Amino acid sequence: MSQSPLVTRSELRKRKEEQERLAEEQRKAAERTYEKREKEISNVYRKELKKNKPVTKSRSSERVKQKERGSILNKAIIFVLLLLIVVMLAVFFI
């Protein structure tokens, strides 16, 4: 009598398919956890970016703006003083 094989081809195929299915499930689970962790990390950095907004001003540009404002205000003050002097002269001599 011939002996039957210990494991048949169909049994081998079933085992192989089962291993592939388990490997696929593990890969998907790992991918889900990775995506979840990535999302948490990106949320943390998004919050940090909202806190620390990028600097768009520089000292020199602010200094130039301040000088321009100062010169305009000085001119306005001088103009108002001249008008006051003209009004005072008009009041005293007319």
Average pLDDT, the chain: 89
Task: State the pLDDT confidence band at 2, using cuts at 50, 70 and 90.
Answer: low
* Burial state string for 45-65 with b = 16 or more CB within 10 A and e = fewer than 16: eeeeeeeeeeeeeeeeeeeee
| Residue 25, amino acid | E
User: What is the rounded distance in angstroms from the CA atom of residue 93 to the CA atom of residue 26?
Assistant: 101
Percent of the chain residues topping a pLDDT of 90: 62
Q: For the chain, which residues make up each domain, given as ranges?
A: 9-53, 56-93
Longest dimension (CA), the chain: 145
In this structure, the number of other CB atoms found within 10 A of the CB of residue 78 comes to: 10
pLDDT score of 54: 75
Q: What is the pLDDT of residues 47-78, one digit of tens each?
A: 777 777 777 888 999 999 999 999 999 999 99
Task: State the pLDDT confidence band at 14, using cuts at 50, 70 and 90.
Answer: very high
